[in-house]
A and B are shown apart, each in its own frame.
Chain A
Amino acid sequence: MLLEDPVFASRFLTLLTLSFHIIYATIGVGVPLMIMIAQWIGIRKNDEHYILMARRWARGFVVTVAVGVVTGTAIGLQLSLLWPRFMELAGQIIALPLFMEVFAFFFEAIFLGIYLYTWDRFEDQRKHLLLLIPVALGAGMSAFFITVVNSFMNTPHGFDIVDGQLTNANPILAMFNPAMPTKVAHVLATAYMTVAFMLAAIAAFKLLKGSGHVYHKKALNMTMKIGLIFAIAAAIIGDFSGKFLAVYQPEKLAAAEWHFETEEGAPLLLYGLLGDDNEVKGALKIPYALSILAFGHPMSEVIGLEEFPEEETPPLAVHYFFDLMVTIGVFMIFLALVYWIGTRWNWEFVKAKWYRWLIVLGGPLSFLAIEAGWWMAEVGRQPWILRGIMTVEEAATTSDYVGLMSILFVVLYIVLGIGTIVVLRRLFKNNPVEKELANAKGGDKA
């Protein structure tokens, strides 16, 4: 069995834990901002619907935070358990942002605890809202710091290797590595975008299920607007990410684009299938587009895979992940833009059932785009764990039983995943919006 190989099993378990954690982490980064906006509008307009929105989101949020925290703890410890050689080396140079991240967690956890239990403790609602700022900031900072670590893995920086020993370590330079700006910006923008569309999907779903309440309409309008802004930001920053790759990680871009030969005026391939002998079938070819994505000029030269030794080329499957991500990104911009214009100009079809179903679909699709993006970025780094310095094979644990542990974690994530869904459903079913609005005054449950 493949899982008997510690290297493969470690990769599998890392993939599994990260792909699971990222769902909750994204929610953890995005939801505090959404709560903040809703509560702010609620206070400004003195509209209890928005306040209730903030409350309900916060209530669901604690459940996802809990799972986010435990899966995050898992990946944090697993980094040492599964990749001991990597952490030994990287610990000497990139431990700083990891350490800072812990403080961000601390900060977030403390204020989240306070925020949740003080809904009715302040005469002035604005004071309560203030407590949310450290939560949103803490979550954003955690995302920032962890993404810094990941960008270091893609473009290691700020040290020298002499005779296999790390010297001249400069932790600050390591943090501000070339991959950092685009990566951090893209991760944050996509997290906010995804969460906005997730909340929009829930509102659209409620409307479809027959609740014509204006509460849901307000929620839908607000989240679609926020989603649109961040989706556009994500695409623009994504374009910069492509330009970053072209310079610093050309093999990843080339693999994602099935770009085999170095050439000027390179075309962009969309979709398609890879046959034997790397022959591309059924792809859409957009002339010059790859050169534009890579350097912003139609005639510039884009490095192809031929320039890299075979054992250093990433798996070509990353192309599918890249396409998936970009397609979803463009689709969501389109969907939200049409919705926005449609509501201004009173186009009937944006209120039609089929359009609302598309919005419902947009929630899961956005999460899929996040997953696809990470799969592309991480698999596209293969075979390196630290690009150019250490391979995955050298880094992995030598311990047996990783396969067995992987199976246990599969079971765990299934239990946690189902648990979250069951619990969230119960939470909101027992407490529909209509009922809550009816007995809005009084009651101190957070």
Chain B
Amino acid sequence: MTLEILGITVLWTFLFGYVIVGSIDYGAGFFNAYSIMTKKEHVLSNIIQRYLSPVWEVTNVFFVFFFVGVVGFFPQTAYYFGTIFLIPGSIALLLLAVRGSYYAFETYVSRGHKGYAFMYGLSGLLIPASLSIVLTISEGGFVHIEDGNPVLDYWALFTSPLSWSIVVLSIVAVLYISAVFLTWYANKTGDRDATELMRKYALFWAGPLIITAGGIIYELRFHNPAHYEQLLGLWWMFALSFILWLATVWFLWKRTNYAAAVWLLVGQFAFAFYGYGISHFPYLLYPVLTVHEGFTNKAMAISLVIVFILGLALLIPSLYLLLKLFLFDKTYLKGKNKKE
């Protein structure tokens, strides 16, 4: 494996991690706000808070890791994407800022404050939407070079069915991923009402998810035929993804084995996400920037990889400790405290 492939694989994996943990996080915030609005907070708020409180900062670091890593491994992306991504990027930052701080304000100080909960619930839902625009832009067709500088064609972006489908997919995916996860989590905490409610939401969003995902593949055919051809070459990955989706829904429907449902869901998204990523290869920004030309020098690449390995050696045990203490700890899950 060459260093650039290693680099992009690591980054893509962290992005995948962010998509999953971020979706759970943002979706949970939305469901929390929604349940307050519909006066069902007694059912949901408790489990959502219990899960979210200790982990939200960790979620954010996944995102920071991704964009810092991209600039490290592929410095030219800073130039191309930095120049064209100003407006969507700034909007995403505003939303992230509102989301993170109001989440903290509500959770740590003003429990149940409706305005705060509403603010972070809604902003959380829009973050994936605004960030997903990067994926659209990277498909090419929206950027031209003017006086040697890349310029984004906002009108084309705004009127493209592809960009809107990607936005819709990102929102639906957030709600679906989060609902499936919280079904399992609620079940684990032994909260029957919350489990039932989350299960209902999960089943509700399963259909729209697969429809929008299919729609995107269809639109890509017109927008970027070369990419579409490569996607077809990887048809088996998407087929597997579809089968895993079916299995997840089946488990939810049958009310059995929610843990398996979560793992199947992760698998479903992994196949789709990597399938998409591999078919996009080698372009970072179609057709002007590839993984090979955009790559950093060898010394930097090697040191980044070394730091990455050392970093993981530090992180994995710590993350394990976090999960052990909160996500999988029986007394914590049930809302009690114990002495150790």
Contact = CB atoms under 8 A, between A and B. Distances in A.
Interface in A122-173: 122-123, 127, 134, 166-167, 169-172
Contacts of B54: 113-114, 116-117
B108 A427 contact: yes
A111 B318 contact: yes
Given A63-B105, A69-B60, A113 B55 contact: yes
B240 interface: no
B259 interface: no
B87 A405 contact: yes
Contacts of B92: 77
Given A91-B71, A102-B64, A109-B58, A397 B86 contact: yes
A95 B83 contact: no
A219 B296 CA distance: 51
Contacts of B183: none
Sorting the interface of chain B by its residue count into under 10, 10 to 19, 20 to 34 or 35 or more gives 35 or more
A110 B109 contact: no
Contact of B79 (A62, A88, A118, A402): A88
A17 B65 CA distance: 20
B304 A444 contact: no
Given A169-B297, A398-B149, A405-B90, A103 B311 contact: yes
A261 B295 CA distance: 46
Given A96-B72, A426-B109, A117 B314 contact: no
B307 interface: yes
Interface string B71-85: 111011011111111
Interface stretch (A78-86, A264-272, A291-299): A78-86
A146 to B, nearest CB: 11
B296 A95 contact: yes
A402 B337 CA distance: 50
Nearest to B312: A103
A93 interface: yes
B100 interface: yes
Contacts of A408: 90, 94
B133 interface: no
Interface in A90-109: 90-93, 95-96, 98-103, 105-107, 109
B94 A122 contact: no
Contacts of A389: none
A102 B304 CA distance: 12
Contacts of B99: 70
B187 to A, nearest CB: 22
B57 to A, nearest CB: 4
A69 B307 contact: no
Contacts of B86: 81-82, 397, 399, 401-402, 405
Taking chain B's interface residues, is the majority helix, strand, or loop, or is none over half, making it mixed?
Answer: helix
B299 interface: yes
B101 interface: yes
A92 B296 contact: yes
Nearest to B146: A398
Most chain B CB atoms below 10 A, which of A59, A95, A134, A423: A95
Given A66-B103, A84-B79, A92-B300, A122 B322 contact: no
Nearest to B106: A423
Contacts of A95: 68, 71-73, 75, 296, 300, 304
Nearest to A66: B104
Interface string A300-330: 0000000000000000000000000000000
B315 A106 contact: yes
A105 B73 CA distance: 19
A77 B67 contact: yes
Contact of A87 (B64, B71, B297): B71
Contacts of A122: 339-340
Interface string A411-445: 01001100110011011000000000000000010
Contacts of A4: none
B135 interface: no
Nearest to B104: A66
A70 B108 contact: no
B19 to A, nearest CB: 17
A416 B339 contact: no
Contacts of B55: 113
B108 A91 contact: no
A39 interface: no
A84 B81 CA distance: 8
B61 A109 contact: yes
Given A113-B57, A426-B109, A96 B101 contact: no
A84 B78 contact: yes
B78 to A, nearest CB: 4
A171 B303 contact: yes
Interface centre among A67, A78, A81, A134 (most CB of B within 10 A): A81
Given A91-B72, A98-B71, A102-B68, 12 more contacts: A76-B64, A93-B300, A100-B311, A102-B69, A113-B57, A114-B326, A116-B54, A171-B299, A399-B151, A405-B90, A423-B105, A423-B108
The 5 closest A-B pairs by CB, nearest first: A91-B75, A66-B104, A84-B82, A95-B72, A87-B78
5 contacts: A65-B57, A96-B72, A96-B303, A113-B53, A134-B318
Interface of A: 59, 62-63, 65-67, 69-74, 76-78, 80-85, 87-93, 95-96, 98-103, 105-107, 109-114, 116-118, 120-123, 127, 134, 166-167, 169-172, 397-399, 401-402, 405, 408-409, 412, 415-416, 419-420, 423-424, 426-427, 444
